[in-house]
Amino acid sequence: MKRLLLALLLAAALLGLLAAPAIASAPWAADDFRLSANTAYIFSYNDGSWFEVTDVDAGTFVGHWVAYDEGNFVAPADPIPADYDVVMQVSVKTNNYGLVKTLPLALQIQLSIPDLGVEVSYEQSGAYWSGPHLWDEYWVNGVMPIDPFNPHLGTRVYANTWLVPLTGESGLAANLIDGNLPVGTYTVYYTERGLRTWTGLDLIFDGQKTPYHSKPYMWEVAPYTFTVE
């Protein structure tokens, strides 16, 4: 149950800047957080699935998903075009602004992509959070709504996103070719740990009457791959 609640917090989404701004430089609850085109945003905690923004102004998102049939693997996600920028991302969206604001202190991530020379430790991971931004109409229409368990709470939804650029001027990959990843298939190792008890105000299941709580945990994702071609 604890992992399900966290997955619902982290699931599905979609954020991105090509650089990874430091926490201190992020605007307070910015309402103009937008994504970049021609960029593959890989769901860091998933299976190699990724998404892109085909129309930034309209907020048009296109997912490239690993295919399954009744839980059984069928086919990998579409290859990432070699001329795309690539960003590893994790997005947390919730009605609890306090959680979003302090997320770098509550959630640490360890990321390794050995073939690209990418290593991000738990201690380093805090520098890659975007800072809070409003989950406004742009995101609701383009991605999904995040409803409170009690519609009378009057809360606003905020998001915070962990962004690790592999390409471009700020890219962490060691073997870029003209700023892009070499053609190939790369294995990702991802682990996260929650350091605090989280209180969530989001609607998780029908009939929910109270907030939910996620206690400290550690989660290691099975290694997965993505392909550039």
Per-residue model confidence as pLDDT tens digits over 22-80 = 333 334 455 688 989 999 999 999 999 999 999 999 999 999 999 999 999 999 999 99
DSSP 102: T
d(CA 117, CA 172): 8
Q: Find the distance separating the first CA and the last CA of the chain, reported in whole Å.
A: 38
Distance CA 3, CA 105 (A): 19
- Do the beta carbons of residue 113 and residue 186 sit within 8 Å? yes
Alpha carbon 148 to its chain centroid, in Å, reads 21
At 118, the pLDDT band (50, 70, 90 cuts) reads very high
Cα separation, 95 vs 199, in Å, equals: 10
In this prediction, residue 19 carries a pLDDT of: 30
Structure tokens at 60: 């048009």
Give the global pTM: 0.86
CB 2 within 8 Å of CB 214: yes
* Helix (H) or strand (E) segment spanning residue 219: strand 217-228
Kindly give, in sequence order, each residue whose CB lies less than 8 Å from that of residue 74, ignoring residues fewer than 6 positions away.
67, 68
pLDDT, tens only, 84-102: 999 999 999 999 999 999 9
d(CA 185, CA 80): 10
Longest CA–CA separation in the chain, Å: 54
Determine the pLDDT at residue 1. 41
**Please, which residues bridge with residue 133 across strands?**
30, 159
pLDDT at residue 26, rounded to an integer: 39
DSSP letter, residue 142: H
Which pLDDT value is given to residue 31?
65
13: which 2 tokens? 């989404």
